[in-house]
Amino acid sequence: MNVQWRKLSRADSALVAELTERIQRVDNPPYRTSRAEIEADFSADQRWRSFGAFVQGKLIAYGHALFRPSDPARVICIGGVDPHFRRQKLGGHIVDLQVQAAQELLGASQGEVIMHVDEGMAELVEVLRSRGFSWTKTYYELRAPLHSLGAVPADPFITIVPWSVDLDDELRLAINAITEQTWGSTPLSAQEWAQGRPHFSAQNSFIALDKSTDRTQIAGLAMCSLYRQDWQALGVRECYIDIFAVGEPWRETHVGRRLLAAVMEKGAADGLEAIGAGISSLNDSGALDLYHSLGFRTVARTRSYSMQLPN
């Protein structure tokens, strides 16, 4: 087999989207990657490296390395091989090229190379381990049928309101504050915030406002998306919670439950059938217990593998 490798540019994002569709049609993961999401990965405003393998002019495999500014910096790697061309060592070569790309993107700085692996990909796990990657955490995909929760206890001075575009940057700052305090997460820049949610649905998202003082505070939020391209694969019309965050001072209140109740009731009223969410195994905020109490169950797992550079 005569395989030609070359770098990919923004103009190749459509080829990557077509390859991704072929891969996901066979692998049938519990999601579908939209063209908008792939185009965002190739954005001119981001630092990335991408390369592809071609046979007779057709893209059969690709790897992408995307730089994320943080402390330490991170490089997120994604990729895939056409199902008809697997077991020919293309995956191992892609991982090697991704590590090289990560080294270029990091330069002299220390950083972490991260790859997410869906269930059932044992061969990729072996490739990653052989290159020095280690399993660092697991992401759980949760889902619950949509239904009304009935009366949820209220909290004095706290109201649940629909997402407000007028508060958009304040909400970004609130998310940054909550996630940095709780998990040490890297703050989202205004650019990352604007580009990172192509399927965001304001009408399905809600904010908790604390008006107990002269200055209204954001107590929590549920930011949701409608990934319509996933619905056929899932077999249900689903509202997905991208970010669910409650500030530390309000974690012993009913804020979290009220936010989720608002999302679920809105989705049910819109004719949706399910609500989904993701949570990390490192999340110890109590969110998983809350999800379970509302009928969420684990439907899929993804492992995160990482390697430190320079190693």
pLDDT of residue 285: 67
Count of alpha carbons within 13 Å of 190, Cβ hemisphere only?
A: 3
Query: In whole angstroms, what is the distance from residue 17 CA to residue 39 CA?
Result: 9
Whether residue 102 contacts residue 65, with contact meaning beta carbons closer than 8 Å, is answered with yes
Query: In whole angstroms, what is the distance from residue 172 CA to residue 225 CA?
Result: 16
Tens digits of pLDDT across the chain (311 residues): 799 999 999 999 999 999 999 999 999 888 899 999 999 999 877 899 999 999 999 999 999 999 988 778 899 999 999 999 999 999 999 999 999 999 999 998 999 999 999 998 999 999 999 999 999 999 999 999 997 777 788 888 999 999 998 898 999 999 888 877 655 567 777 777 877 788 999 999 999 999 999 999 999 999 999 999 999 888 999 999 999 999 999 999 999 999 999 999 999 999 999 999 999 988 776 788 899 999 999 999 999 999 999 87
pTM of the model: 0.88
Count the residues in the chain: 311
Query: Which domains occur in the chain, in start order?
Result: 4-132 (3.40.630.30), 142-303 (3.40.630.30)
Whether residue 266 contacts residue 161, with contact meaning beta carbons closer than 8 Å, is answered with no
pLDDT of residue 17: 98
- 192-224 core/surface letters (b: 16 or more CB in 10 A; e: else): bbeeebebebeebbbbbbbeeeeeebbbbbbbb
pLDDT of residue 161: 97
Count of alpha carbons within 13 Å of 228, Cβ hemisphere only?
A: 6
Number of neighbours of residue 88 by Cβ within 10 angstroms:
14
The position carrying tokens 């697997």 is 86
CB-count exposure of residue 166 (10 Å: 0-12, 13-18, 19+): exposed
pLDDT of residue 192: 77
Helices 90-106 and 122-130, axial angle in degrees (round to 10): 50
pLDDT of residue 152: 84
CB-count exposure of residue 35 (10 Å: 0-12, 13-18, 19+): middle
Please tell me whether the peptide bond between 30 and the residue prior to it is cis, using omega within 30 degrees of 0: no
